[in-house]
Amino acid sequence: MSTINPALGSTDLPHSPHDHAGHHELGFIKKYVFSTDHKIIGIQFLFTTLLMLMVGGALALAVRFQLAWPWTTMPIVGKWLFGAQGGQISPEFYTMLFTMHASVMIFLVIIPILAGAFGNFLIPL
């Protein structure tokens, strides 16, 4: 058996505790962009789907504008987007707007917010 020399004191033991609890705080980029935490990944999915929701909403507004006032110049972005048609939405472009609205809302909003945002945030793997 070994004996403890009382003259050494308790702080001179070979495995004395050190203060390793003070870890540095991660920066914004490391914490929110390159994270492996399931809750942060769920928040990333949430904000990305909210951005895509705004894109899909803008497409829906363009579709609704065409239905409400057909063959009129679209305000604000009409000349920029539809310069060749005089700022009006052509029937071909209306079909493209409608299809893109549906695709964005289904594949970039509904599915990612259910499986990605809520799935990662609430149910960790």
pTM over 0.85, yes/no: no
8 A C-beta contact, residue 62 and residue 89: yes
Q: Is the pLDDT of residue 42 over 70?
A: yes
Of the CA atoms within 13 Å of residue 26, those in its CB half-sphere come to 10
Provide the token pair at 40: 């942060």
Provide the token pair at 53: 């929701």
State the chain's mean pLDDT as an integer. Answer: 86
Q: Tell the burial category of 117 from Cβ atoms under 10 Å away from its Cβ (0-12, 13-18, 19+).
A: buried
Q: How far apart are alpha carbons 25 and 67 in whole angstroms?
A: 53
8 A C-beta contact, residue 40 and residue 116: no
User: What's the pLDDT at 1?
Assistant: 59
